[in-house]
Every structure is written in structure tokens, then in C-alpha cells.
Structure 1
Amino acid sequence: MISLTPLQTLQNVEFRNLLTGRFFIVLAFRMLATLLGWWVYQLTKDPFSIGLIGLSEVIPAVSCALYAGHVIDMNEKKKLLLICNYAYVFLIGLLLIPAFFNSEMHLTGHQVTYFIYGVIFFTGIARAFIGPIVPSMIPKIVKKDNLPNAVTLNQATFLTSSVCGHAAGGFLIGSFGVQWTLVFIILLIIIASLFFWQLNKQYSENKNDSVGVIESMREGVTYIFKTKEILGALCLDMFAVLFGGAVAMIPVYATDILKVGAEGFGLLNAASDIGSMCIITILSIIPLRKNQGKILLGVVAGFGLCIIGFGLSHLYWLSFMFLVLSGMLDGISVVIRGTIVQLKTPDHIRGRVLSVNSIFIMSSNEMGQFESGLMAKILGVVRSVVFGGSMTVLIALLVGSTNPKLRKMQY
């Protein structure tokens, strides 16, 4: 059977609706992340407070992830996706209270910050479910031969919306303020739900409904630890991004080091995603044919070197270019990792495996944000970023030397 090209895969209307809905919801999430980092730093002027945003979300998200995977595998996925979608509408709507009525309520900056942390804690629970649902639906919508193309397009959609979200977030904050940016974010999530309503229902394929929750969750974890290619790719992602999370310090760089304001902050926040989007566009036309495991290890090490360069730079254009290049390298690794996980995972356990995958992703991103804030407090901002990049290079070398199956992986 001849597989379609990535662009031909978009002829599938249901797949197109799934990607369009994901575009709008990720656009909203990235705008929200940009807004929260900027808002909290303006309220506190403390880099560590930015790190606590990530910690507020990752604790409930990781805690609920294994159970979320069980629920996804045992229930109809479209319904769960819509429930999570509207949960976000409600929770982000709560942020409108301090945004619009702060002066009337006479709240201090720290009180508003604590309220934000509380809301983000509950979005972390919703994220534990919504994160794995979309990728778990893809193999039921496209044929297996076209799965690598679908993964590439899914990542291209994610990165395109990330770029637009980061850049638009900074622009809207600078032009209309936090309040109306939040309103726009809520509208985007509602628009996403309109496309999700067009999807077909996807029911559970598990034949044994009598399996207990604990046993079901254990099955997903055991499968990952037995499959060394998946385990290696996920560990590489978690530890590399955990230490290479320099983007968490971009509000500090934009405000205090590069002095470029809200608009410059938005572009810096989008820089790595711009690079990722460019490289994934290329991969959509010229996919990787061989040696994907070795390429994965090489691009992660290169990503770490770019983070070191960003940390040491005091020139806006040079900092921007380092982040763009880091995004290009990360984009390659994202496509390879995503394809490995999808191709190596059976349908009946896909939700649980992708939930464990989400634990690794959330641990790396949000804990990376916390780690960056903590290390910035201990070492200073510049030294913390350089330290993180150095650790990323070390992790790539360590994983490459200890996991020959990942190193030799091809698909």
C-alpha cells in the first residue's frame, strides 16, 4: 500500500477537524502561558514566582496522569475531550475576576498571584486528561501507513499555534492589557470546541472491563519499561527539557537583561517555536528516512548548546537566533519521539502509554520551569540557564551511551 504524503493526509476531513480544534486550543494555552509569566512577574518582580506557575500545574497533572490514561482507554474519547475543553473555559474565566476587579477588591500583588496559582492547580487536573486524548485519537482517524505523516502534521499544528500564541500573547498584552487578552483566550477555547464536536465518537477497545484501576495503570507503565525505545526517548525528553527550560526565564531576560518590553518578550517566547515550525515544515516535505535514533541524540545535544549560547548572550538578535536554532533542533526531536511512541504502542493501551508520556512531558516542561526559577534564585539568571544547557548536553551523551536500542532505532 502506498502511503500518502503529509499534505495528502489532510484530505481526511475528520483528521482536519481534529487538527483545527487542536490549533485553536493550543493557541489559547500558549497565549495563557505567555500572559501568566508576564502577569506574575509584573506583580512580584521575582523570577522564582514564575517557576511556581509550573509547579502549581505539574503537581496535579502528574498525580492524575496515570488515572487519566485508564479513564481514556476505558471510555468514549470525544466526550472526555469536550468535558476538558469546557472545564478550561470555566477555570480561565475565574482569572477574569482579579483581572477586571482587582482595584475594587483591593487585592495585593501577592494575593492575585496566589489566586492564579490556585486556578492553575485545577487546570493541571484538566490537562492530565486533555494532553493524551488528542494523540490517542489520531491512530483511529488515519491509517497506520500514514501515522508518521499524521504525527508530523500534529506537531506542525502544535508548533504553528505555539508560535502564533506566544507572539500574539505578547502583542495583545501590550495593546489591550491582561484583562482583554484573557477574554480572547476563552473565546479561542470555545472555537476549538466547535471543531471537536464534529469528530466521530471513539469507544474503548478494551475487552476486559473487569480489570481494576490499579492493574490497568500498572499495565501501561510496565509496557513502557519493557519497550526500551519508548523509555529512552521519554527519558531523553524529560531530563533534557527539565534542565534546558531556559524559556521560563524569558520574562526576566526581556525585562531586565535585553530590555525589549512586552512585544519583544512575545517574540522571544515564540522564537524557539518559529524554528520548530520551520523545520517541521521541511520534514513534512522531506521526511527522515533512516538513523532516527542517532539523529535524536544529536539534536538534543545541539539543543543544549543553543541554550548555553542564549544564556550568555546580551544582544537581542543573537538571543533570538539561539532560540530559533534551539527550536529547529527540538522540532526534529519532537517528531522522532512522537513517531516512536505511536508506532510502538498498541491501540488498546494507547491512552495509558500516552498518559505516561504526558507525565514525562509535563515533568520536563513544568518542573523545568520550577527548576529554572529555583536555580535562578540560587545561581542567578544567567548562570542557571548556562547550567541547564550544560546538563542537557550531558543527558544526551548519557542516554546515547546506555541505550543501544534507541541509538539504533529506525522506522
Structure 2
Amino acid sequence: MSVRAAAPPSFSDLTRERPFMRMWIARLFGTAGSQMLLVAIGWHMYELTGSAWDLGLVGLYQFVPALLLALLAGHVVDRHHRGRIVAACLGVQGGVALVLLLAVQAGHDSRALLLGLSLILGAVRAFQMPAQQALTPLLVPPLMLPRAMAFSSAGMQGAIIGGPALGGLLFAAGTGVVYAAGLLCFAAGCVLVMQVRYEHAPAPREPVSLSTVLAGVHFIWHRKPVLGAVSLDLFAVLLGGAVALLPIFAKDILHTGPWGLGLLRSAPAAGALVTSIALTRRPIERHVGRALLLAVAAFGLCMIVFGFSRSFLVSLIALAVSGGADMVNVVIRQTLVQLETPDAMRGRVSAVNSIFIGASNQLGEFESGATAALLGPVGSVVAGGVGTVLVALAWFRLFPSLARRDRLVKSQQPSLRIAE
């Protein structure tokens, strides 16, 4: 008998992790269904009211409950079976799709119904996001987690791209058909999640209190690498986002039609998809802290290039590269947060992370619009890009433990194998 170190896990090793792969397919169905449902509700609302204000309310009604319930949801995720929480969330979304399908068929659809169901979808998102994030580390070994996170991101990006596209095609057959397709996706995802098996150690049933609900905030504040990674993403998205201004760039600066706007909006997702596939095949194994900070700086540089560009092709490439840089940030950050967090805290820490992501996306759109009103769209995007680069450089000094982080998995224990 001889002892030797185990070889680093490969992509084929990941695909043999059946619980993870079943969960991965379930997330594909769930994300595709969610994207179709969101597109359908927006289109449905505009058909009913013709009001841009009501379209904005749909987004607001989903964001507010997700924000208000996030910390409580994190506590619930850490106290209950995460797989069942995800399955319940998919089931509720399937119920929303069913209600909308029946309402369309009966002619009972209304503005109030769409807004009420949007509240439910927002509440569900508060529980589903931290549950999914905290569940993945339980389905694969720690050394395989970076590859698993990248592969999960690849699937998510594919569903985010394909879901709305499929929903748009199904609209030709009627709004009810889109809701029916979403219902089928949620049902398939729910069934698959219910079949995921993993070791679940019930957590002690602490009463819900302010200290237990805020434990995730306390944990992140006292773990500097985690605080640095999460806050870096917050400022990068807050300052560097240009999505809200894309219609202006497409029409008034790049002089393209709606087809150009569609390509511009899809370019970051396409770049993220390609990068996530590459990270699945070849994860970043060394100097991960520096790679994280440089990826955010590269994102800011892409925004500067996009802001100054007057060429549609250059703008398209800049957005695609920005999506790839952001995906490096996402994979490293999410893996680092999960590995640095004890399992009993992962739900609450993931909930705080989801607040940062949601708030930065919403506030980032507001920041883009506000600065565009003062500086113009070009000035807004360029200033945001410069700010993102400066934040990334500042984080080298403010969070040296993050910048010096070499590996995601700090220690790699050798494993015992019996040589025949």
C-alpha cells in the first residue's frame, strides 16, 4: 500500500457528481422558467395598460420584498433543509405561472393581479437565491467547488440568454403559451430538486432574534477577505454599470436600431457565458485575490472604452469583454465566500450577498441615470468606469489579505489511495 496525493479534480469528475448535476439541470429549468415568466409579465402588463410607469412598478414590486425578507430568509435557509426550500420556491413560481395561465384563459387578467403576483415572485427570490448558493458546497468536495461554481454560472448564463429568446418565440402563439412553458420548466425543476440527496445535519433551532438574523452581517464585517470581495462587487456594479443607458447609446451615439440594442444587451451575457465555460475547463488556481481585483479593474476599463467608442463593433466587443471580466469576479467571489463561511452560516451570508447584488443593480441603474443627467451618457459611463478602476486599485491597499490570497482552497490535504 502506498500513499500519494490525489490528482486535481477534472471536469469529468465534476460531471460524475450526480447530486450536483441533478441540481445543475434543475437550475437550468428554474432559471429559464423565471426568465420566461419575467418577460411575459412585462409584456403582458404593457399590453394591458400601455404604461411605462406600470412596467417600472413590476420591477419595484419584485425588488422590495426580496430586499425586506433577505435577512430573515437567510436565517430560514440555515435552519431548514435547503433542497426543500429551493423545491418549494420553484413550486410557488410554478403556481404563479398556473394562476396567470388560468387568468388569461378566463379573461380575468388585470393590472392588480400582475402586481400582486410580482410581490410573490419577489418574496420567493429572497429565499431561493441564498438557498441555492448555500446548497452547492454540500454537493461537491471543496477542491471541486471553483469548477462547480464556474459550471453553474455557465448554465445560468445560457438559461438567461435562452429563456427570454424562447419566451419571445412562444409569444407568437399567445401569452398563455409562455406561461404554460414556464409552468412546465418550474415543474421539471421542482421534481429534480426533490431528488437531490445530500448529507443534511439539522441545525439547532434557535429562536428568531435580531442577533441571529444579523449574524451574516456580523460575520462578513469581521472576515476581511469576504468583506473585501463582497464590497468590491457592490462598488463595481454601482459605478460601472451601463445597462440602463444602452438605449441612448444604441439610438443617439452608435446610430443603430432595435436590433443593435438587442445585440448590445446580449453582449455581456455572451462574454460571461464563454468565460464561464473556460473557467469550468481550466479554473484559476493561483493568485486568485489579484485575479479578482484585476478582473474588476478590467471591467472598468471596458466601460471606459465603451463610453468613448463610436464604432458599433468596438462597443460590442467592449461589452462582451466586460461580461467575461465580471464572470471572473463572480466565480472567484462566490467560491471564496462559500469556502470562507461555515456551513451553519452560509444561508445568512448568502442572503447578505444577495442584498448587495440586488441593491447594487437597482442603485447602479439610478446612478447611471442621475450622472447621465449631469454629465451626459458618455460622461456617465466613462466616469463610472474610472471610478471602478480606482476602487479596484484602492482595494489592493484596503484589503491586503484579499489581494494576497493565493488559492481559493487554502490547504489541499493529500488523500489515501491503495495502489494495486
| TM-score scaled by length of structure 2 | 0.82
Residue 233 of structure 1 corresponds to 229
Once the two structures are superposed, what CA deviation does each residue of 1:170-218 show, in whole Å capped at 9, x if it has no partner? 5555x55655444433332222222112112664542x32354323223
CA distance in 2, matches of 1:154, 1:323: 22
Once the two structures are superposed, what CA deviation does each residue of 1:334-382 show, in whole Å capped at 9, x if it has no partner? 1110111111011111111111111112222233344445555666655
- Offset of residue 121 of structure 1: 3.0
Asked whether the equivalents of residues 88 and 190 of structure 2 are also in contact (C-alpha less than 8 Å), the reply is no
Residue 121 of structure 2 corresponds to 123
Residue 274 of structure 2 corresponds to 278
Residue 197 of structure 2 corresponds to 200
Letter in 2 for 1:15: F
1:165 aligns with 2:163: yes
Stretches of structure 2 that go unaligned for 5 or more consecutive residues are: 1-5, 408-420
- Offset of residue 22 of structure 1: 0.5
CA distance in 2, matches of 1:150, 1:339: 9
1:406 aligns with 2:406: no
- Offset of residue 323 of structure 1: 1.7
Query: Paired residue for 1:22, among 24, 27, 31?
Result: 27
- Offset of residue 395 of structure 1: 2.6
- Offset of residue 271 of structure 1: 1.6
Asked whether the equivalents of residues 51 and 372 of structure 1 are also in contact (C-alpha less than 8 Å), the reply is no
Q: Cα gap change, 1:371/1:316 in structure 2, threshold over 3 Å: closer, same or farther?
A: same
Letter in 1 for 2:35: R
Asked whether the equivalents of residues 301 and 393 of structure 1 are also in contact (C-alpha less than 8 Å), the reply is yes
Alignment of 1:254-333 (within 5 A): 258-261=255-258, 265-313=261-309, 315-333=311-329
Letter in 2 for 1:126: V
CA distance in 1, matches of 2:251, 2:117: 26
Residue 418 of structure 2 corresponds to none
Residue 155 of structure 1 corresponds to 153
Asked whether the equivalents of residues 242 and 364 of structure 1 are also in contact (C-alpha less than 8 Å), the reply is yes
Once the two structures are superposed, what CA deviation does each residue of 1:57-81 show, in whole Å capped at 9, x if it has no partner? 3322121111111101111222211
Asked whether the equivalents of residues 240 and 300 of structure 2 are also in contact (C-alpha less than 8 Å), the reply is yes
Residue 144 of structure 1 corresponds to 142
CA distance in 1, matches of 2:339, 2:28: 23
Alignment of 1:104-123 (within 5 A): 112=111, 116-123=114-121
Task: Say which is worse superposed, 352-361 or 51-60, in terms of deviation.
Answer: 51-60
Secondary structure of the 1:300 match is helix
Q: Cα gap change, 1:366/1:169 in structure 2, threshold over 3 Å: closer, same or farther?
A: farther
Secondary structure of the 1:276 match is helix
Asked whether the equivalents of residues 87 and 191 of structure 2 are also in contact (C-alpha less than 8 Å), the reply is no
CA distance in 2, matches of 1:298, 1:342: 21
Residue 183 of structure 2 corresponds to 186
Asked whether the equivalents of residues 76 and 202 of structure 1 are also in contact (C-alpha less than 8 Å), the reply is no
- Offset of residue 392 of structure 1: 2.5
Asked whether the equivalents of residues 35 and 169 of structure 1 are also in contact (C-alpha less than 8 Å), the reply is yes
CA distance in 1, matches of 2:116, 2:383: 30
Letter in 2 for 1:359: I
Once the two structures are superposed, what CA deviation does each residue of 1:298-335 show, in whole Å capped at 9, x if it has no partner? 11122123234334545543332222111111111111
Asked whether the equivalents of residues 307 and 322 of structure 1 are also in contact (C-alpha less than 8 Å), the reply is yes
Asked whether the equivalents of residues 51 and 373 of structure 1 are also in contact (C-alpha less than 8 Å), the reply is no
Once the two structures are superposed, what CA deviation does each residue of 1:221-254 show, in whole Å capped at 9, x if it has no partner? 2111111111111011112112333224445656
1:58 aligns with 2:56: no
Residue 414 of structure 2 corresponds to none
Letter in 2 for 1:63: L
Stretches of structure 1 that go unaligned for 5 or more consecutive residues are: none
Asked whether the equivalents of residues 241 and 384 of structure 2 are also in contact (C-alpha less than 8 Å), the reply is yes
CA distance in 2, matches of 1:129, 1:15: 20
Letter in 2 for 1:198: Q
Q: Cα gap change, 1:200/1:291 in structure 2, threshold over 3 Å: closer, same or farther?
A: same
Q: Cα gap change, 1:288/1:212 in structure 2, threshold over 3 Å: closer, same or farther?
A: same
Asked whether the equivalents of residues 86 and 131 of structure 2 are also in contact (C-alpha less than 8 Å), the reply is yes
Letter in 2 for 1:190: A
Residue 416 of structure 2 corresponds to none
Alignment of 1:42-53 (within 5 A): 53=58
Once the two structures are superposed, what CA deviation does each residue of 1:31-84 show, in whole Å capped at 9, x if it has no partner? 4455566777887685x8766554433322121111111101111222211211
- Offset of residue 126 of structure 1: 0.6
Asked whether the equivalents of residues 167 and 269 of structure 1 are also in contact (C-alpha less than 8 Å), the reply is no
Asked whether the equivalents of residues 250 and 260 of structure 2 are also in contact (C-alpha less than 8 Å), the reply is yes
CA distance in 2, matches of 1:394, 1:144: 33
| TM-score scaled by length of structure 1 | 0.84
Larger radius of gyration: 2
Asked whether the equivalents of residues 35 and 164 of structure 2 are also in contact (C-alpha less than 8 Å), the reply is yes
Identity of aligned residues (%): 34
CA distance in 2, matches of 1:215, 1:325: 42
Aligned positions, number: 400
